[in-house]
Amino acid sequence: MKAEQWSDYVKSQEEILRELKKELIRIGTTKQADYDLMKSQGHVSSSTISRRLGARWSDIILRLDIKNDLTLKALENELKRIGSTNREDYDLLKNPGQLSSSAICRRLELSWREIVAQIGLKPARVLLPKKELLKALESEFERLGSFKKEVYREKRNKQQFPAPRVLIEHLEMSWAQIIKACGATEIREYVADDVSNQELIDEYKKISAKFGQPATIEELKKSTAYTYEIYRQHFGTIGQLRNVCGFKVETKRATPVITKVDCKRELLEIYRKYGRASYSQLQEKSTISMSTMIRKFHTTKINEIWDEVLKDKVDSTADKSTDLSDMS
């Protein structure tokens, strides 16, 4: 092969590798099957690339030296999804399977701030103190012409003001408290459509991290930017929410259901020992709570409960007597 032909051949191979690297970074993986499935129109198959380069797919990937590029691309996607370049936010809210911030820094041998800048995103801003930020927000809400969270999220001055979740955390206020402090007079309650499951999951993880364990219902009520009812609409129970968030859910053995028959049996036992006990005596001697008794008999009057229990006892005794007389 002549020198000129060899030069063209090398250039051709370099072009193939360059284009392949760009496409693999876009896809986010070096797996051969994923490439063939997800490649853009106009890109040749992996087998064609191997044939042209005269190398196996695994050897081609080694030549590309693409590991760090994929790490940066995956991080960029995660930070955009989370809506923050803050390192703590990333470690808390990243999807399972993603590298930790410290692992990324070690792999790339760069500081977190340098990595964020290399991706092309802006490092987490230093926010104004609470009083000054609320003052600035007044003007921003006036410019937007709305106190709605979704309007602020989409149309705010992103150079000056953080995303709603970051704002809520920094000010340690709910969204309703923030807009009220900024002059809102009619504060609308949240409805389920205003927030996605992922936003609630991210917030619950953040709140739980502050308490060092999965947040209780009371802790969630005090800390959420929404309402606990919104969480119930989306996830049902606190256990289901914790399960979705990846927290270990401890299940308790279900308490046996107490029936009205159980209550009557308990009262008859007390009657045999102590007679027709008063409300205060029943509170002391019954193993079933009085609130349960009242629910089962649908009355708050203890005399009416005794009347029903003893009437059933008399009727039962009479039935037995009739049966015996028939037998004789």
Residues of the chain with pLDDT under 50: 1, 3, 6, 189-193, 318-328
Listed in sequence order, the residues at least 6 apart from 297 whose beta carbon sits closer than 8 Å to its beta carbon are: 260, 263, 304, 305, 308
What is the rounded distance in angstroms from the CA atom of residue 118 to the CA atom of residue 140?
A: 30
d(CA 143, CA 132): 17
Tokens read off for 307: 């009347």
| Cα 328 to Cα 135: distance, rounded to the nearest angstrom | 95
* pTM for the structure as a whole: 0.37
Cα separation, 241 vs 223, in Å, equals: 16
Say if CB 194 and CB 150 are below 8 A apart: yes
pLDDT of residue 191: 44
Residues 6+ apart with CB under 8 A from 113: 123
So what's the pLDDT on residue 140? 93
The whole-angstrom distance between residue 179's C-alpha and the CA centroid of its chain comes to 24
Q: CA Rg, the chain, in Å? A: 34
pLDDT of residue 251: 55
> What is the residue type of 313?
K
